[in-house]
Every structure is written in structure tokens, then in C-alpha cells.
Structure 1
Amino acid sequence: MSAILHKAQVSSDPILRIERVKKYYPIRKGIFSKTVGHVKAVDDIDLLVFPGETLGIVGESGCGKSTLGRSIVRLESLTEGSVYYKEQDVHRMSESDMRRVRSELQIIFQDPYASLNPRKRVSELLINPLLVHVQMTPDEARKKAMELLDIVGLSKHSLNKFPHEFSGGQRQRIGIARAIILQPKLIVCDEPVSALDVSIQAQILNLLKSLQNNFQLTYLFIAHGLGAVKFMSDRIAVMYLGKIVELARTSNIFNHPKHPYTKALLDAYPVPNPLFRDKERIILSGDVPNPAAPPSGCRFHTRCPMARPRCREEQPELLGGQHLVACHYPLS
């Protein structure tokens, strides 16, 4: 797919280029664990991410968002395709080269309770990366860790505590501090607020925005909450069953969605103004198809109220210039 289709009026070179990425998980059965099929978690995705922007990835649970994010930082191997960070193929790097890139390519995990080692104090979580990657002295690293804790809204005394001594929001702040301690260029935010109380979510989102401005960070922001995605993102890619079905600037996605699936997601979002509650809505019916046996043609046709015979037979391509949509009959 032509890279210019993803550029969306950004003049600089991309910091991240994803080409034809596929991630299939084998389905094994029998005493010999014979492979009888594959779960197609991510199926043929192309994306560009540009320096300083936030690209949001949104979709229902099970659409492949987190698998894509983990593949970008090489926590998951690829079945096919390439992930280029600054024109270097992440999945074809040697271990020594990847170790060097790790300082620039980080991830914030979804679950703050599972992402921190319960046996390590906060000081170990934050200071050890500085000792290994930056080769600071212990005193310099400790000073740097205390400064960073203050930036993310935690006391310097937190260094001597274990993760179980913190609340969920505080743990996520520690996870954010760990992600930015090495001053990375790109951070994959894998649903960083979905496990938190609503009152804490806004604080974490504001913190991420502030850090992005202060440290010139680039985010790949993965979420299923449309409010968080709208607040954080410059552009949004909508995923359904392992594929991107729409990609455009945030204002275009929310004000002029072209794919019926995007429209259905927006229609499911709560509307506080009663004057707009009676508008025509797309209500999704049925369940998400099995990713091990996705439907032929357009993968959304089994739930789309506007599906036609062509949708069942021919798979649509992601086309459209600055507002990409994979639909034979896009909304006007």
C-alpha cells in the first residue's frame, strides 16, 4: 500500500513504519499437537507513525489492537511483515542491536498490577535501566529516579516501597515513569487507563499529554474507550477482526465517519445532550466472528446493516487519500 495514503499532511519522515504485518497463532489439537488452523489476530496491516504525533488504535475487544502494539516492541514475533523503527527492522535486529533500541522504544502496559515485579522495589525498577543502558553512577541514577517520580506525581519516598504498597493509579504512574526513564522517542500505550477508576483516568491522560509535550514523545495509543482516544489522538485507526477499516484525523473520524463499523462504535458512545439522542443509529447485531475462520469478503458484512452481495464476495482495500476507508459502499 502506498505510504502517501497514510501521511495525512505530516511533512516529516515517519518514526515508525509497519508493512504487511501479520500475526497468526496456531491452533493445535491431538496428542501430537498438530496444527489444524490459525487465529488471525493481526492480518496484513500497513501504518505510518510520525514524530510527535499520537496515533490512536481503537476497536472492540479481540480485534488485535494489543497484539499489534506488542509486536511493534518485539514482545510478539511476527508471522509475516516488517516493523521499521527509524528505518531499522525491529524484528530482524540482533539481540545487541535490539537492546540499544529498547531505550528508545518503550511500552506502558494495560494492567498496573501485573506489569510491575512484586519482588522489586521501585528503586530497582527505575534505577537499574539507567545503570545498564545509560551507565550512570548509582548516585546519579537515584537522583534521576527521584526527579522522575516527582514529574509523574509521586513522592521521592516511593523509591523504597514495593508495588503492593500503591494504589492502581499510583502503580500506573510508576509504570509510566519506568517507560520514560530512558527518554524514549516512541511509546506504545496499551490501554493504559482501562483498568483504572474513572476519576483516575483523567489524571493519567493529562499526565501523558504533559509528558508528551515536555519530552517530545510519540505515542501509539491503544484503547477501546472513545473518549480517551479522542482526547489523546491526532489520528485514529479503527480495527476490526485483525484489519484496519478506517484511518483519518480524529476530527474526521468523529464528525464524518465513513465506515459503518466506525459509525456503530460512535453511536454506542453515550451522548450527554438529549437533543442528539434520537438521531439515526447503527446498532451492531450478533457477535464478532471467529478470528480463526473470518468471513469471506468484507469481514464486517455479517454484522453490517448495509451489506450487499459484493461485500460477501470481495474484500475491500483501504483507500481514500487522507481519509482511508475499507468499504465498498462508504457512508457519505
Structure 2
Amino acid sequence: MSLPTEIKIEKPSKERTGTPLLEINNLKQYYPIKKGIFSKTVGHVKAVDGLSLQIYPGETLGLVGESGCGKSTTGRAIVQLEKPSEGEIIFDGKNISNFTNREMRSIRTELQIIFQDPYSSLNPRKRIGDLLSEPLLFHKLATPSEAKKKVEDMLEIVGLPKSYRNRYPHEFSGGQRQRIGIARALILNPKLIVCDEPVSALDVSIQAQVLNLLKDLQNEFNLTYLFIGHGLGAVKYISDRIAVMYLGNIVEIAKTEEMFKNPKHPYTLALLNAYPVPNPHLRGRQRIVLEGDVPSPANPPKGCKFHTRCPIAQSKCREEVPVLTGVHHSVACHFPIN
């Protein structure tokens, strides 16, 4: 497969149709805070606090927010690397929230993840061919000879020579290792792939190549992505819809074009202000500059969690929790921006 070296300009939008492939309802992920010699639980870190969203077949949903807002925790909970404290995760019509490890084995082939740091997720003692063939052999989807052939084909699909199957992870660059991570996620032919900041550690030129590769693979294999990131340029390019996350909750969700043209939540507008726009005519656009740090998820503010940093907060924001409302463009704010 030939890979483009530059980011494409046009990106056709996809309409949401049918039943969601993934539906998350009131997801919570709490971590206990223990103190004392008896390890008494004195509180909880609320990494994800009542998150709900849907992802439809064939689309890419971008999940953005500052570091520590719970994006990666959400991704890990979706693929059941961590068991959620509360809530439902419905994948392809099955509630997998409370699946046992044995029950999850039948789902693993359809639900995969690409990690932010591919080097830490690749066993340095194994050759690439062994790393990629291992899931095929574990799930008994191929014989050793068939697995070898599929590994070679998959390496070529992600833009690497098939001879690389005999190399070790330390012999590759960061971009090549990320291609290997993509190949490993793709080799089981999944329906949904959670991309946990897959390009944040790469050079800009390599980011473009990996993003284009992900888009080409999506079109070729009819994949669905949850793309987690904090770089709005990459998220804007690859996503059909964007969900903005703050301190464990979704505060706004809309189509990508609508989100960038008409942000309604002050936090979304602040994130967009930090994104450089190469247009001198937009110098006088409305701007919101955030002040202060993100509050601790162990002791989040009452009412709207963003009111401690919001320049337009009013007394109602300090008392009542806003509800995510809207059909095509949803926002959780008492006083959304016009």
C-alpha cells in the first residue's frame, strides 16, 4: 500500500446511521485513596465520573481534553484493561461491563487498542513476527504457517517490508514501532480500535503518515475508531465527530466542522484558542484564556466542574450540575456561548 507523505485537505463526513457499535452509559472509574497502617479508604480519585457517549459503525470519534481529564482511562475501560466502577459498556449489542476474562476472549478479536508508546507495549525479547502471530495462535485463528503469511501481509499493509518480521523492537524508529502497533491491533480484523494518542510522541511529518495510514486502513477494512488525543490538529483531521472531556465528563460533542466553527462550551473555546489558525482575518476572534490548574479529581468542584476556571461563570454554575443536552450538537453548560 502506498502511503501519502502529506496530510490530505478534503475529508468526507460520515452520517450516523443505525445502531451504535459502542454505547457507554454513565461510566465511572474510581480509584480508592488509602491512608494509615490499615490502608483505610479515605476517598476516591474520580478519573471518569458519569461519562456517556455513542460511536457508530465506520466513524471516528475524537476524544480531546487536557492531561488528567480521564481520556486514556476511558479507553482502557472500553477494552476492559480496567474494570469500570459503575456504568454500562455495550459493544455490538453485548454489555461487556461485567464480562469475566473467559467471556472477554470472544470479544478480544473485535475490540483492540493502539497504545501511545508502542515501545513499552512490545516485548523487547520477542521478534516482530512472534509478536504479531501470537494473537492469531492464541485465538486459534491460524496455523503457524498461515500466521507467518498473514504477518508478512500485514507488515506490507502498514508500510513495512515483510523481512522486518525477524527484527526486534529496539531496531525500529518510533514511527516504525507505531506501525507495528497498528499491525498488531489490526491483525485480528477487529470492528473497533481505541487509538490512545497514537501520534503524540511522533515527529510532525511522521504524524501525517500515520494519520493517513489510519484513514486508509479504516476505508479498506471498514474500521471504527475512538481517537484519543490532545493535539487538535490531528483530532480535527481524522475525526468525524469530537467529544470534549473535562475532569471525567463530556462537556460538548458535535461534528468536527461544527465544533470548530461554532463551539458552545467555554472550555471548548479555550482549547480552540490554543490551536494556531493560519488565518490573519481571525486575529480578532472571541478568545477565552484559561487561568489556574485543573482541579483535583479526588476533590472536584461542586456544580459545574469548570466553574473555577470559567470567565463567564455565575452563581448557578457553582450550585447546579449542567446536563449534556442537544441532538446534533450537545453541550453541558448553563450559559452556552452563542
Structure 1 length normalisation: TM-score?
0.96
Q: What is the aligned counterpart of 1:36 among 39, 42, 48? A: 42
The alpha carbon displacement at 1:60 in A equals 0.4
Deviations 1:108-138 (A, max 9, x none): 0001221111111101111121122243121
Residue matched to 2:157: 151
Q: What SS does structure 1 have at the residue aligned with 2:307?
A: coil
Is 1:103 aligned to 2:109, yes or no? yes
Q: What SS does structure 1 have at the residue aligned with 2:213?
A: helix
Q: What is the aligned counterpart of 1:65 among 65, 68, 71? A: 71
Residue matched to 1:202: 208
Q: What SS does structure 1 have at the residue aligned with 2:83?
A: coil
Residue matched to 2:331: 325
Is 1:83 aligned to 2:89, yes or no? yes
The alpha carbon displacement at 1:94 in A equals 3.1
Deviations 1:209-250 (A, max 9, x none): 000000000000000000111111111110000000001111
Residue matched to 2:299: 293
In the alignment of these two chains, the number of paired residues is: 325
State the distance in 1 between where 2:286 and 2:97 align.
45
State the distance in 2 between where 1:157 and 1:9 align.
40
Q: What is the aligned counterpart of 1:275 among 278, 281, 284? A: 281
Deviations 1:51-88 (A, max 9, x none): 00001100000000000000000001111111111121
The alpha carbon displacement at 1:31 in A equals 1.3
State the distance in 2 between where 1:63 and 1:176 align.
25
Alignment of 1:1-332 (within 5 A): 10-332=16-338
Moved over 6 A (4+): none
State the distance in 2 between where 1:291 and 1:226 align.
23
The alpha carbon displacement at 1:275 in A equals 2.8
The farther-off stretch of 92-101 and 42-51 is 92-101
State the distance in 2 between where 1:233 and 1:135 align.
31
State the distance in 2 between where 1:138 and 1:34 align.
50
The alpha carbon displacement at 1:9 in A equals 5.7
Q: What SS does structure 2 have at the residue aligned with 1:67?
A: helix
Q: Could you list the runs of 5+ residues in structure 1 that have no partner in the other structure?
A: 1-7
The farther-off stretch of 136-145 and 159-168 is 136-145
The farther-off stretch of 201-210 and 270-279 is 270-279
State the distance in 1 between where 2:283 and 2:199 align.
27
State the distance in 1 between where 2:183 and 2:283 align.
41
Calculate the aligned-residue CA RMSD, in Å.
Answer: 1.1
Structure 2 length normalisation: TM-score?
0.94
Percent identity of the aligned residues? 66
Q: What SS does structure 2 have at the residue aligned with 1:126?
A: helix
Q: What SS does structure 2 have at the residue aligned with 1:222?
A: strand
Q: Is the 8 A contact 2:87 2:97 kept in 1?
A: no
Q: Is the 8 A contact 2:133 2:147 kept in 1?
A: yes
Which letter does structure 1 place at the counterpart of 2:234?
A
Residue matched to 1:4: none
Which letter does structure 1 place at the counterpart of 2:138?
V
The farther-off stretch of 149-158 and 266-275 is 266-275
